[in-house]
Amino acid sequence: MDQLVIFDTTLRDGEQSPGATMTGDEKVRIAQQLERLGVDVIEAGFAAASVGDFLAIQRISSLVKESTVCSLSRAVERDIERAGEAIKGAARKRIHTFIATSPIHMEMKLHMTPDQVVERAVKAVKLAREYTDDVEFSAEDASRSDPAFLARICEEAIKAGATTINLPDTVGYAIPELFGQFILDIRTRVPNSDKAIWSVHCHDDLGMATANSLSGVLVGGARQLECTINGLGERAGNCALEEVVMAVKTRPDYFKLETRINTKELVPTSKLVSSVTGFPVQPNKAIVGANAFAHASGIHQDGVIKARQTYEIMRAEDVGWSKDRIVLGKLSGRNAFKQRIQELGIPVTSEVEINEAFLRFKDLADKKSEIFDEDIQSLFAPSGSHPMNNYYGFVSLDQKSETGERPHAKVVMTEGGGEITTEAYGNGPIDAVFKAIEAHVKSGARLDLYSVNAITGTSEAIGDVVVRLSCDGRVVNGVGADPDIIAASAKAYIAALNKLKKADPVNAQIGAVPTP
């Protein structure tokens, strides 16, 4: 069977999703999980975008050994130099350089003639080859480009040393039936096409990213797929990694391809990305949604009891859902707790970290009779896992609401090590909490989104709150979890403030390297 290269761009295109900005530490955590998942290439960021992104790619390059680490760069000398420097320490390294090839992008955005675009692409690929033998060239907006011109630039890029040629459907315009044929047509027109691996990168604007990607593989002969965990990405997102990987694995009769992905890590990776970014996974999401393997109707339940294959084409445990029936609660010990952490793929680095989490687990178990996987995940969520690294911390809350009275909240929080108490009235209990925090912090941030999910099934469920704040052109998400949704809201708000506050330059998408 042919090998299908899985190129994950959660840390680059995924991060282009408004609100999905990640800190350097978060990027490193996700990169390590992607390596455990077995992705072939991790696109760790865009080195020239900010000092923070550069440093994050550098750290990932020094830590990740199995996967190739890649940085994106425009077809601009300075971008390529930054990419080359950032990935220098990687065991396997790639530079991914791109330039747009559609008439609309060349004329209206780049203000370049087609000849100038080819010249820039060739120069970029040649320069990238000075840093690594593994160079990818992408023709941005390929699906709206003239086929003859696209073939010409791909041929020149390969001659210049590109080893992977990626044809993106940048704006999600492609139709599955035509897209595969389009890729095949370009490959056929390029005389040296066999000197490169062909790749596709599809966006989900019309909900067809997965279908287009698979058509690019089946019909077009692409052997690299660019995708993200949970389909995160610019606008409506990218092709979802878990979907294409499981499609190929579930239908070997049709695809006749294999990947290096350890599919048991799919759910843990999805949960990690969701908790870091604050983007909840919809329950009916294929593979990684909470309902993806649930059967609620009698006829289906009957069928599954008699023979699972009647209604299941995959096994839940093969994609990382736990089939363990051990119920964790306040009487559970460290060993059961540790085993569950391992099964959930939570990256813990030391016994101290486990012991601290175990204390938080016991505290939670005192408030809830049954602890679910999602509760365990939330114990390691960014808002709660490393309180010492945060400028603000949640301590306690006193909130009063009475019919006919204005709700009032008093919040005790830490600020740079010291403790402060702040209070305010609001239109509702959550509003009072946020106003109390802001009465002291005065961030000037705007609340763009507030959502609360009961992340486990019962009325004892833990509340998972996402708060999105924007300030000075930056958008951040904060996540908070607690059985009390008012406390979860305060934690989420404080987590978002910490992201705004953090001196971590990954969050500061400023200080960009100027175009030469």
Ligand X SMILES: CC(C)C(=O)C(=O)O
Ligand Y SMILES: CC(=O)SCCNC(=O)CCNC(=O)[C@H](O)C(C)(C)COP(=O)(O)OP(=O)(O)OC[C@H]1O[C@@H](n2cnc3c(N)ncnc32)[C@H](O)[C@@H]1OP(=O)(O)O
Q: Which stretch binds ligand X (CB under 6 A): 54-62, 162-170, 331-339, 396-404?
A: 162-170
Rounded-to-integer distance, Cα 432 and Cα 406, Å: 9
Task: Check the annotation: does 295 bind a ligand.
Answer: no
- H-helix or E-strand spanning residue 270: helix 266-277
| Binding track, positions 174-213, relative to ligand X; x by CB under 6 A | ---------------------------x-x----------
Among 7, 8, 13, 276, interactor with ligand X by CB under 6 A: 13
Should residue 182 be labelled a site residue for ligand Y when binding is judged by CB under 6 A? no
CB atoms within 10 A of CB 302: 12
Task: Check the annotation: does 300 bind a ligand.
Answer: no
Amino acid occupying residue 167: L
Among 27, 29, 59, 74, interactor with ligand Y by CB under 6 A: 74
Q: Which two tokens stand for residue 194?
A: 């066999």
CB of 72 or CB of 341, closer to ligand X: 72
| Binding track, positions 141-180, relative to ligand Y; x by CB under 6 A | -----------------------------x----------
Q: Which does 110 bind (CB under 5 to 8 A by kind): ligand Y, ligand X, none?
A: ligand Y
Q: How far is CA 135 from the centre of its chain?
A: 23
Q: Which stretch binds ligand X (CB under 6 A): 102-110, 164-172, 204-212, 500-508?
A: 164-172
Q: Give the residue ranges of DSSP H helices in 91-228.
A: 103-104, 114-129, 147-160, 176-189, 209-218
Residue 365 gets which letter from DSSP? H
Of the candidates 513, 516, 4, 515, which has an alpha carbon nearest to the alpha carbon of residue 259?
Answer: 4
The dihedral built from the CA positions of residue 254, 256, 257 and 262, taken in this order, carries a sign that is positive
Should residue 17 be labelled a site residue for ligand Y when binding is judged by CB under 6 A? no
User: Which residues have a Cβ under 8 Å from the Cβ of 137 and sit 6 or more positions away?
Assistant: 96, 97, 98, 121, 124, 125, 154, 157, 162, 164, 165, 166
Backbone angles phi, psi at 12, to 5 degrees: -120, -70
Rounded-to-integer distance, Cα 371 and Cα 363, Å: 11
CB of 227 or CB of 492, closer to ligand X: 227
Among 140, 156, 242, 423, interactor with ligand X by CB under 6 A: 140
Site size toward ligand Y (CB under 6 A) is 19
Q: Which two tokens stand for residue 236?
A: 């409506």
Q: Which does 109 bind (CB under 5 to 8 A by kind): ligand Y, ligand X, none?
A: ligand Y
Q: How far is CA 380 from the centre of its chain?
A: 17
CB atoms within 10 A of CB 223: 18
Task: Check the annotation: does 440 bind a ligand.
Answer: no
CB of 48 or CB of 376, closer to ligand Y: 48
CB atoms within 10 A of CB 482: 23
User: Which residues have a Cβ under 8 Å from the Cβ of 329 and sit 6 or more positions away?
Assistant: 365, 369, 370, 371
Which residues in 80-119 contact ligand Y (CB under 6 A)?
A: 98-99, 109-110
Q: How far is CA 45 from the centre of its chain?
A: 12
CB of 53 or CB of 423, closer to ligand Y: 53
Among 10, 21, 37, 46, interactor with ligand Y by CB under 6 A: 46
Q: Which stretch binds ligand Y (CB under 6 A): 69-77, 262-270, 346-354, 448-456?
A: 69-77
Which residues in 77-136 contact ligand X (CB under 6 A)?
A: 98
Q: Which does 138 bind (CB under 5 to 8 A by kind): ligand X, ligand Y, none?
A: ligand X
Among 76, 290, 476, 479, interactor with ligand Y by CB under 6 A: 76
CB of 202 or CB of 424, closer to ligand X: 202
CB of 156 or CB of 226, closer to ligand X: 226
3-state secondary structure 115-153: HHHHHHHHHHHHHHHCCCCCEEEEEECHHHCCHHHHHHH
Rounded-to-integer distance, Cα 211 and Cα 207, Å: 9
Task: Check the annotation: does 111 bind a ligand.
Answer: no
Provide the residue count of the chain.
516
What are the strands, taking DSSP E only, across 366-495?
A: 392-400, 408-415, 418-425, 446-454, 463-471, 474-482
What residue ranges bind ligand Y (CB under 6 A)? 13, 16, 46, 48-49, 74-76, 98-99, 109-110, 140, 170, 234, 512-515
What residue ranges bind ligand X (CB under 6 A)? 13, 72, 98, 138, 140, 166, 168, 170, 201, 203
List binding-site positions.
Answer: 13, 201, 203, 238
List binding-site positions for Mn(2+).
Answer: 13, 201, 203, 238
